[in-house]
Amino acid sequence: MNLLHQLHSPLMRRALLEAILVGSLCGAVGAHVLLRRLPFFTLALSHATFPGVVLASIAGASLYLGGAGAALGLVLAVAVVGSARRLDASAATGVALSGAFGLGVLLQSAQPGGSKDLAAFLVGDIFTVSGKDLLTTAIVGAFVVGGLALVHKEIVFGAFDPDGAAAAGYSTFLLDLAVLCAVALTVVTSIPAVGTILVVSLLVTPPLTARLWVERVGPMMGLSASLGAAAGIGGIAASAQWGIAGGAAITLVATALLVVSGVGLSIRAATLPHRPSFSWDTEE
């Protein structure tokens, strides 16, 4: 049975809409993850949310609040470390990745039925999202994307030339903090759909694909959001057709789009040997 035949089901409609919303949000925010070379931080952040989510589950509180608290704690720590330069930020991030994930597994393993819940936290279950989850994703997505749009030029300026941005009177600490908070909120919002692990793929793969096709940051965000949404639709369709895990299918479709784009551009480069090389354009 394919996706069209199952759209009469409220469960399937919610899953499809959530896949589109999460894919679009991760794609748009992921452009700044790629621009600022934050994939490793994003991986650590996704793991840092894990103990917060587990504690919230044990306490019967909102998973969003638990994950957000843990994620924002790491964001503040990395921002302070990066500005003070007391420690190497990547080393501190690596410690947070392993330590936070270990703590989350320890807490979860002590609970009855911990193994089943652990899998749900790690890879999500998009077919169990509720109307409340959809509303949360829509509100947070609008807030995050709207906020990034308001300070788009300043954030891009700070990414390409931090010293120049500081000399122009901008607070590079606040600009960095804004981007890190946007990534944190995106990760936490995406956990019910794709879990704490697979969300990293959605934050990195669509913008990487978009970067192959466009040279400006603004269009890259738009194309990346579209590719994320397309991966969501394709993943849900594949899950409906073959009965496979929705979150994993979404990330594999996103990866397939990257591979197809890379192959297509390689063929194009072979036929057009004088094609100009890629370069970022900071003038948005």
CB neighbour class for 37 (10 Å; exposed up to 12, middle 13-18, buried from 19) = exposed
Q: Which two tokens stand for residue 200?
A: 């990293």
pLDDT band at 84 (very low <50, low <70, confident <90, very high): very low
pLDDT band at 162 (very low <50, low <70, confident <90, very high): confident
Give residue 284's pLDDT: 47
Give residue 112's pLDDT: 62
Residues in the chain: 284
- Domains parsed from the chain with CATH numbers: 3-271 (1.10.3470.10)
pLDDT band at 279 (very low <50, low <70, confident <90, very high): low
The alpha carbon dihedral of 58, 62, 64, 66 has a sign of negative
Give residue 147's pLDDT: 94
Q: Which residues contact 219 (CB under 8 A, 6 or more apart)?
A: none
Alpha carbon distances (Å) from 64 to 125, 185, 218? 15, 9, 29
Average pLDDT over residues 60-67: 78
| CA dist., res. 55 & res. 49, Å (int) | 10
| CA dist., res. 184 & res. 73, Å (int) | 10
Q: Is 20's pLDDT higher than 70?
A: yes
Instruction: Give the residue carrying structure tokens 């965000």.
Output: 221
Task: Note the pLDDT tens digit of each residue in 202-230.
Answer: 999 999 999 999 989 999 999 999 999 99
| CA dist., res. 165 & res. 158, Å (int) | 5
Task: Note the pLDDT tens digit of each residue in 224-262.
Answer: 999 999 999 999 999 888 888 888 899 999 999 999 999
Lowest mean pLDDT among 146-150, 179-183, 223-227, 270-274: 270-274
pLDDT band at 280 (very low <50, low <70, confident <90, very high): low
Which of 110 and 197 is assigned the larger pLDDT?
197
Range among 38-47, 188-197, 248-257 rated most confident: 248-257
| CA dist., res. 218 & res. 156, Å (int) | 10
pLDDT band at 27 (very low <50, low <70, confident <90, very high): very high
Structure pTM?
0.81
Q: Is 1's pLDDT higher than 60?
A: no
Give residue 95's pLDDT: 62
Give residue 68's pLDDT: 81
Q: CA dihedral defined by 40, 250, 64, 51, rounded to 10 degrees? A: -50
Q: Is 32's pLDDT higher than 60?
A: yes
Q: Is 276's pLDDT higher than 70?
A: no
| CA dist., res. 93 & res. 45, Å (int) | 8
Give residue 269's pLDDT: 79
